[in-house]
């Protein structure tokens, strides 16, 4: 019979060690968000900068207009598509980097991914605009797939492309660690028992990589939905993310309470999605664990 | 043996000319003068300002650091608010509605003709004033906002903005987000259909028609985005300020629609506001620099490449902009001075209405 593990107790010494870190987290992360949450319940006085006195739910009520659901949907929809695409493209690249015995190939993959990270995102976005923009040499591609280069859906495609540039290197680099941590002998054992390579990948490697894949997706999604500069440059003012709405509220009309309300709603939605994905990760990890 | 002190090191390095190289101090006595932080627009505005200030710095010993407006000039108001009164800005470039907002917040120092003699030449009507009638701004440019188009990209001339509903302009229009230019886009559209600042509804109806037909190809927030969109030929017709139009006109044939039979152009002033600071020397230095920009020669030099009208009547205007601005007898027929005080109270509502009614139409068209 095994004794149940006792709950770890935090001693005074441990609490003292934790205190500086907790304090930093409180001051740097929790306090600004708490202040923003309070601001979101303040009234906005027309023609003034910032918020007035008193409390109101009006800033949230305004965002219940159906039109705003579209912006949140657009933000998350493009975010999900880009995260999934980054996973599809990044996973094979990461697997190759983790498993290849060819040193030069590994260096080339790492060089490409790290090089992309170091290259200014702004430069990459303008390069996309010059190449794929409505006057760019590859704009005809839009027409080929039935999306005219000056149309709004084409702007959405460009935003997705920009976000992919942003998140793909991160996703691939994160997944290299995931694949490196999977013992290659498990794959070799499956292969030695006669399983073809595709089956090894689907039944051995993939289930073991699920937690890493979901973590990478979650981080990619967080990067996408919080991106401001990508829709700003490539969205042509037509594809707007929730971040762009927030910027207009805070910066252009100085309506801080309304901007704060959008921020809090985004935070709530993101927390819900993270929670759902963590539950999914646990469920899949449990299902994939060897019995 | 005495240890080498920092002072010894400075002495030795200054004598050898090493100190500046090490960043430890200057080999020559520091120039007297104040360090100023000036907020300016990007593109041609910062280029010409830097040239003017480089000569000024060498002459006066004052030093100037620049910060660029991010987005529309109104964004600076939102940037100052949370930091006030601990803001480092000494001079902020802006235009009438931005100055009104800053004056309301009591961030601006009044200017006087005694302290700033160059202002004596500038017509009083160009200044923004506070409730006591004090001069609160340093007007440097007379600017305007107009419709216009690239003649190399548009097949037939445009004589009325009603024509913008024609299929040939699908995806070709570049318009500012309604908070930009404090909603002058809404006003020009409203005026086209018989409205005005206080009766803006006809403008919304016109805008909905444009959006639903897919005419709007780009929505911009600042000069750089406008210059980018129009220079790339991504869009061919636009409504924006004359300074940005001038930059496009340098490279491409452009027709400014400032004398439309059924609409009007908008005029306003740009310039500096001197920001309140605890240190009176900084305020005095900021006023010195603003006064320098308002002197006849420098006012010409500043406005010439911008394509804007100098506010100092003794300055020379760029002849290339002669066709853009109005002769005095043309003003009643073609020019309009908007009620920016009223419009600035509406931009929040207009921005939300744009998000709720117009942006979804553009997105789906």
Pairing relationship of beta strands B138-150 and B254-257 according to DSSP bridges = antiparallel
Are A49 and B365 an interchain contact pair (Cβ–Cβ within 8 Å)? Answer: no
**pLDDT score for A254:** 83
Domain for residue B341, yes or no?
A: yes
Measured between CB atoms, which of A47, A68, A248 is closest to B345? A47
Name chain A contacts of B105, Cβ cutoff 8 Å.
49
Residue B31, pLDDT score: 47
* Listed residue (A172, A207, A202, A204) closest to A96, CA to CA: A172
- Amino acid B29: pLDDT: 36
**What's the rounded mean pLDDT across residues A219-229?**
94
Nearest Cα residue in chain B from A152: B363
Q: Are residues B49 and B110 in the same domain?
A: yes
Tokens of B202: 């006809």
The domain boundary residue, chosen from B286, B301, B321 = B321
Instruction: Say yes or no: B132 and B167 in one domain.
Output: no
- B178 vs A60, residue with greater confidence: A60
What average pLDDT score do residues B173-184 get? 92
Q: Which residue did the predictor score with more confidence, A52 or A131?
A: A131
> Which residue in chain A is spatially nearest to B349 when comparing CA positions?
A46
Least confident of A249-258, A275-284, B262-271, B346-355: A275-284
Q: What is the pLDDT of residue A47?
A: 66
Query: Which of B234, B340, B364 would you mutate first to test chain A, the one with the most A CBs within 10 A?
Result: B234
Question: To 5 degrees, how large is the angle CA B192–CA B229–CA B207?
Answer: 25
Burial per residue of B2-36, b for 16 or more beta-carbon CB atoms within 10 angstroms, e otherwise: eeeeeeeeeeebbeeeebeeeeeeeeeeeeeebeb
Residue A33, number of CB atoms within 10 A of its CB: 13
pLDDT at A26 exceeding the cut of 50: yes
Considering only alpha carbons, which residue of chain B is nearest residue A235? B218
| Residue B226 falls inside a structural domain | yes
* CATH number of the domain encompassing residue B276: 3.40.190.10
pLDDT computed for residue A166 by the predictor? 92
ipTM surpasses 0.95? no
| Average pLDDT score over residue span A71-87 | 96
Question: In terms of domains, do B227 and B312 share one?
Answer: no
Domains of chain A: 70-288 (1.10.3720.10)
Cα–Cα distances (Å) from B59 to A154, B54, B292, in that order, read: 53, 9, 12
Minimal CA separation from A119 to chain B, in Å = 22
Please name the residues in contact with B75: beta carbons below 8 A apart, sequence gap of 6 or more: A251, A252, B69
CA distance A64 to chain B (A): 11
Residue B328 has pLDDT above 80, yes or no: no
Which of A60, A143, A152, A243 should one mutate to test binding to chain B, selecting the residue with the greatest count of B CBs within 10 A?
A152
Q: Is residue A51 scored above 60 in pLDDT?
A: yes
CA dist B155 and B153 (Å) reads: 6
Query: Distance from A104 to chain B by nearest Cα, in Å?
Result: 41
Q: What is the pLDDT of residues A2-13, one digit of tens each?
A: 566 666 677 888
Contact between residue B62 and residue B30 where contact means Cβ atoms under 8 Å apart: no
In this structure, what are the phi and psi dihedrals at residue B270, rounded to the nearest 5 degrees? Answer: -115, 160
B213 part of a folded domain: yes
Contact check, Cβ <8 Å, B348/A253: yes
* Confidence bin at B341 (pLDDT 50/70/90): confident
What confidence score (pLDDT) does residue B10 get? 44
| The pLDDT of residue A285 is above 90 | no
Contacts of A65 in chain B (CB under 8 A): 356
B-interface mutation test, from A139, A252, A258, most B Cβ less than 10 A away: A252
List chain A residues with CB under 8 Å of B70. 251
Q: Token pair of B58, please?
A: 């060498």
Spatial distance between the Cα atoms of A42 and A52, rounded to a whole number of angstroms: 6
What are the backbone dihedrals phi and psi of residue B219, each rounded to the nearest 5 degrees, phi first? -115, 120
The whole-number pLDDT of residue A28 equals 93
Q: Considering only the beta carbons, identify the residue of B78, B229, B344 that sits closest to A47.
A: B344
- Interface check for B365 against chain A (CB to CB < 8 A): the answer is yes
> Residue A270 above 60 pLDDT?
yes
Read off the pLDDT band of B101 (50, 70, 90): confident
The answer to whether position B16 is within a domain reads: no
Residue with more model confidence, A184 or A281? A184
pLDDT in tens, B19-68: 434 434 333 334 458 999 999 998 889 999 999 999 899 888 899 999 99
- Chain A within 8 Å of B216 (Cβ-Cβ)? yes
CB contact under 8 A, A251 and B79: yes
Tokens found for residue A80? 């999900």
Distance (Å) of CA B331 to CA A59, B184, B192, B265, B337? 43, 18, 18, 9, 10
| Peptide bond connecting A9 to the previous residue in cis, omega within 30 degrees of 0 | no
Question: Least CA distance to A156: which residue of chain B?
Answer: B363
A48 neighbourhood in chain B, CB within 8 Å: 104
- Kindly indicate the confidence band of residue B81, based on its pLDDT and cuts at 50, 70 and 90: confident
pLDDT given for residue A289 in this prediction: 53
Does residue B348 sit at the A interface (CB-CB below 8 Å)? yes
Is residue B134 located within the same domain as residue B171?
A: no
* Whether residues B152 and B74 fall in one domain: no
Confidence of residue B185 (pLDDT cuts 50, 70, 90): very high
- pLDDT in the model for residue A3: 60
Q: Are residues B228 and B359 located together in one domain of the fold?
A: yes
Quick one: closest CA in B to A150, which residue? Answer: B171
The pLDDT confidence band at residue B141, using thresholds 50, 70 and 90, is very high
How would you write chain B as a 3-class SS string?
CCCCCHHHHHHHHHHHCHHHHHCCCCCCCCCCCCEEEEEECCHHHHHHHHHHHHHHHHHHCCEEEEEECCCCCCHHHHHHHHHCCCCCCCEEEEEHHHHHHHHHCCCECCECCCCCHHHHHCCHHHCCECCCCCECCEEEEEEEEEEEEECCCCCCCCCCHHHHHCHHHCCCEEEECCCHHHHHHHHHHHHHCCCECCECHHHHHHHHHHHHCCCEEEEECCHHHHHHHHHCCCCCEEEEEHHHHHHHHCCCCEEEECCCCCCCEEEEEEEEEEECCCCHHHHHHHHHHHHHHHCHHHHHHHHHHHCCEECCCCCCCCHHHCCCCCCHHHHHHHEECCCHHHHHCCHHHHHHHHHHHHHHHHHHC
Task: Please report residues of B whose CB lies closer than 8 A to that of A240.
Answer: 355, 359
The H or E element containing residue A46 is none
Stretch B158-185: mean pLDDT, rounded? 94
Coil, strand or helix at A169: helix
**What is the model's pLDDT at position B3?**
44
Count CB-CB contacts under 10 A for residue A20: 9
B260 and B348 inside one domain = yes
In this structure, are residues B99 and B137 in contact, taking their beta carbons and an 8 Å threshold? Answer: yes
Query: How confident is the prediction for chain B on average, in pLDDT?
Result: 88
**One domain for residues B171 and B56:** no
The string of pLDDT tens digits covering residues A152-179 is 899 999 999 999 999 999 999 999 999 9
- B364 or B176, greater pLDDT: B176
Nearest alpha carbon to residue B195 among B257, B263, B266, B96: B263
Angle ∠(A162,A166,A168) on CA atoms, nearest 5: 110
Residue A148 DSSP code: -
Give residue-wise pLDDT tens across range B203-240.
Answer: 999 999 999 999 999 999 888 889 989 998 889 999 99
| Residues B174 and B154 both lie in one domain | yes
Structure-token match 């886009």, residue found: B185
Q: Which residues lie across from B180 on neighbouring strands?
A: none
Is B329's pLDDT higher than 90?
A: no
pLDDT digits (tens, 9 = 90+) for A113-157: 999 888 999 999 999 999 998 888 998 888 888 888 888 899 999
> What's chain A's average pLDDT?
90
Q: Is B221 on the interface with A (CB under 8 A)?
A: yes
Best mutation target, B84, B363, B364, to test chain A (most A CBs within 10 A): B363
Phi, psi of A50 (to 5 degrees): 85, -145
A150·B355 Cβ contact <8 A: no
For A15-19, A115-119, B2-6, which range has the lowest pLDDT when averaged over its residues?
Answer: B2-6
Question: In chain B, pLDDT over 90 holds for what percent of residues?
Answer: 66
Q: Tell which residue, A214, A210, A206, has the closest CA to residue A276.
A: A214
Residue A48, CB-side half-sphere exposure with 13 Å CA sphere = 10
Same-domain status, B83 and B179: no
> Are residues A135 and B214, on separate chains, in Cβ contact within 8 Å?
no
Q: A interface mutation test: which of B207, B217, B353, B365 has the most A CBs within 10 A?
A: B217
Q: Which residues face B135 on adjacent strands? A: B111, B129
Q: Return the pLDDT at B2.
A: 44
Single out the residue of B97, B359, B336, B144 nearest to residue B239, CA to CA: B144
* Together in a domain, B244 and B358: yes
The residue out of B321, B341, B356 marking a domain boundary is B321
Q: Is the pLDDT of residue B13 over 60?
A: no
Residue A207 confidence (pLDDT) above 70: yes
Per-residue pLDDT band for B148 (boundaries 50, 70, 90) equals very high
Q: Which domain covers residue B127, as residue numbers?
A: 35-142+268-321
Tell me if A262 sits within 8 A of A270, measured CB to CB.
no
Do B275 and B249 lie in one domain? The reply is no
> Does some domain include residue B29?
no
Tokens of B177: 């987000």
- Dmax (CA) for chain B in angstroms is 90
What total of structural domains would you count in chain B?
2
CA distance A61 to chain B (A): 13
- Longest CA–CA span in chain A (Å) reads 75
For residue A6, the model assigns a pLDDT of 65
């Amino acid at each position: 019979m095994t004794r149940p593990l006792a709950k770890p107790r935090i001693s005074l010494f441990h609490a003292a060690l934790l205190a500086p870190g907790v304090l930093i987290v409180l001051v740097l992360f929790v306090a600004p968000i708490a202040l923003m949450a309070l601001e979101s319940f303040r009234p906005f006085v027309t023609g003034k900068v910032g918020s007035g006195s008193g409390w109101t739910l009006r800033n949230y009520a305004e965002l219940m207009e159906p039109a705003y659901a579209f912006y949140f949907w657009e933000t998350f929809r493009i975010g999900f598509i880009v995260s999934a695409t980054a996973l599809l493209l990044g996973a094979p690249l990461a697997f190759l980097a983790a498993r290849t015995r060819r040193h030069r190939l590994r260096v080339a993959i790492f060089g490409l991914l790290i090089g992309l990270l170091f290259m200014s995102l702004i430069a990459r976005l303008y390069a996309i605009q010059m190449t794929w923009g409505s006057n760019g040499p590859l704009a005809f591609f839009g027409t080929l797939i039935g999306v005219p280069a000056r149309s709004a859906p084409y702007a959405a495609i460009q935003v997705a492309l920009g976000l992919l540039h942003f998140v793909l290197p991160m996703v691939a680099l994160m997944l290299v660690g995931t694949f490196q941590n999977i013992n290659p002998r498990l794959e070799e054992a499956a292969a030695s028992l006669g399983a073809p390579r595709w089956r090894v990948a689907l039944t051995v490697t993939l289930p073991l990589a699920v937690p890493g894949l979901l973590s990478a997706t979650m981080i990619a999604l967080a990067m996408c939905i919080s991106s401001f500069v990508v829709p700003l440059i490539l969205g042509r003012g037509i594809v707007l993310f929730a971040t762009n709405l927030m910027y207009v509220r805070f910066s252009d009309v100085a309506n801080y309470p309304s901007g704060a309300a959008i921020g809090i709603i985004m935070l709530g939605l993101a927390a819900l999605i993270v929670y759902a994905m963590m539950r999914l990760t646990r469920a899949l990890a449990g299902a994939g664990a060897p019995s | 043996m005495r240890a080498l002190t920092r002072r010894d090191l400075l002495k030795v390095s200054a004598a050898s000319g090493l100190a500046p190289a090490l960043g430890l101090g200057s080999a020559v006595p520091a120039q007297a003068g104040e360090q100023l932080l000036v907020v300016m627009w990007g593109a041609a505005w910062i280029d010409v300002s830097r040239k003017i200030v480089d000569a000024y710095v060498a002459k006066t010993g004052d030093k100037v650091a620049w910060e660029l407006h991010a987005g529309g000039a109104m964004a600076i108001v939102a940037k100052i608010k949370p930091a006030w009164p601990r803001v480092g800005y000494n001079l902020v470039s802006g235009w009438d509605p931005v100055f009104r907002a800053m004056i309301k917040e009591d961030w601006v120092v009044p200017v006087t003709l005694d302290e700033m003699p160059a202002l004596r030449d500038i017509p009083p009507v160009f200044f923004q004033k506070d409730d006591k009638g004090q001069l609160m701004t340093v007007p440097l440019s007379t600017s305007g906002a107009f419709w216009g188009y690239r003649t190399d990209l548009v097949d037939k001339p445009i004589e009325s903005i009603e024509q913008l509903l024609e299929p040939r302009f699908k995806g070709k229009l570049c318009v500012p987000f309604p908070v930009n230019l404090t909603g002058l886009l809404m006003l020009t559209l409203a005026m086209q259909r018989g409205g005005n600042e206080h009766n803006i509804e006809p403008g919304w109806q016109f805008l909905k028609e444009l959006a639903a037909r897919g005419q709007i190809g780009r929505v911009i927030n600042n000069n750089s985005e406008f210059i980018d969109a129009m220079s790339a030929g991504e869009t061919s017709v636009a409504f924006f300020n004359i300074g940005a139009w001038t930059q496009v006109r340098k490279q491409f044939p452009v027709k400014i629609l400032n004398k439309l039979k059924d609409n009007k152009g908008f005029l306003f002033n740009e310039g500096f506001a001197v920001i309140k600071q605890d240190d009176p020397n900084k305020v005095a230095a900021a006023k010195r620099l603003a006064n320098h920009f308002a002197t006849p020669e420098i006012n010409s030099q500043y406005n010439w490449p911008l394509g804007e009208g100098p506010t100092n009547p003794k300055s020379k205007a760029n002849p290339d902009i002669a066709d853009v601005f109005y002769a005095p007898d043309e003003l009643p027929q073609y020019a309009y001075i908007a009620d920016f005080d009223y419009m600035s109270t509406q931009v929040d509502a207009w921005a939300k209405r744009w998000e709720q009614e117009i942006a979804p139409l553009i997105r789906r068209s």
